[in-house]
Amino acid sequence: MIRRNLLVGMAAMVFIGLYSIVTFAAEPDISTLPKSKHKAWQRIKSGMEQEYNVCIEHCGGKNECEEKCKKAFESRLQHEFQKLLQTAGADVPKDDIQRVSACPFCGMDRQKFAHSRVFIEYDDGSILGTCSIHCAAADMAVNLDKSPLSIWVGDYHSRKLIDAEKAVWVMGGKKMGVMTKRAKWAFENNTAADEFILLEGGKVATFDGAMRAAYEDMYEDTKMIRERRKAKRMMHKAGQ
């Protein structure tokens, strides 16, 4: 029995090893991609690898089927990499507010909240414009089949769009955030972020840290927003 289990275990290890080789056989040269796009590529590649693994599972060990999965995976991998490579030097969107004037989640005016707005370009060609990182996080959570190619955020001071992954984020502080109790502001450089912290408090964070906090805060923030809207409806009815 022990010998049988050992053989099964060894076979599984060999299968996993070969499986990994197939999965990454056609991976493009990431060194040709700007570092600012590496995280976006990892997100895209991870999603495609999951789809490939599901495809292999459905093949039931049939070589012909697995070969089709492999070819489709390699083709899509190259296609998505080239799409990302083409957007690597893309100009900052100049008309995002004209293209999306109101946040699709809360209806808030993105011009009014230009200092916290987010603009996302997805790998399927679609775009998203929100009032805040809170609403952007909500969209990314429900659209798991789409991967962001570019994520832009409004600089707190200048209100111009900057690369969200390169931005210096500040979380917390005395100033109330947009759609969240724990504020999350983006700054183009460390100097601006440090000056803000001296006046309003908070702490420096990365984009990943800000996104993680947005998901951690989602329940409490959603509850807060729901209660505010309910109170406004009641006040409106009372004034009629």
Which of 2-16, 57-71, 111-125 is predicted with the least confidence, judged by mean pLDDT?
A: 2-16
Q: Does 177 share its domain with 195?
A: yes
**Does 123 lie in the same domain as 191?**
yes
* Domain count within the chain: 2
147: in domain: yes
pLDDT category at 240 given cuts 50, 70, 90 is low
Q: Contact 80/44 with Cβ under 8 angstroms?
A: yes
Pair 102, 73 in one domain:
no
Asked if the structure places residue 5 within a domain, the reply is no
**14 lies in a domain?**
no
Residue where one domain finishes, among candidates 59, 90, 121: 90
pLDDT at 88: 61
Summarised one tens digit per residue, pLDDT across range 159-216 is 999 999 999 999 999 999 999 999 999 999 999 999 999 999 999 999 999 999 999 9
Last residue of a domain, one of 57, 73, 90: 90
Q: Among 28, 196, 65, 179, which residue's Cα sits nearest to residue 116? A: 179
Verdict on whether the full-model pTM lies above 0.85: no
Same domain, 129 and 45: no
- Whether the pLDDT of residue 10 is over 70: the answer is no
On whether both 53 and 106 belong to a single domain, the answer is no
Q: Residue 137: inside a domain, yes or no?
A: yes
Contact present, 129 and 149 (Cβ < 8 Å):
no
The pLDDT-based confidence of 26 (bands split at 50, 70, 90) is: low
Question: Within a domain: residue 82?
Answer: yes
pLDDT at 90: 60
Helix ranges (DSSP H) in the chain: 2-24, 38-59, 63-87, 96-99, 133-142, 190-200, 207-239
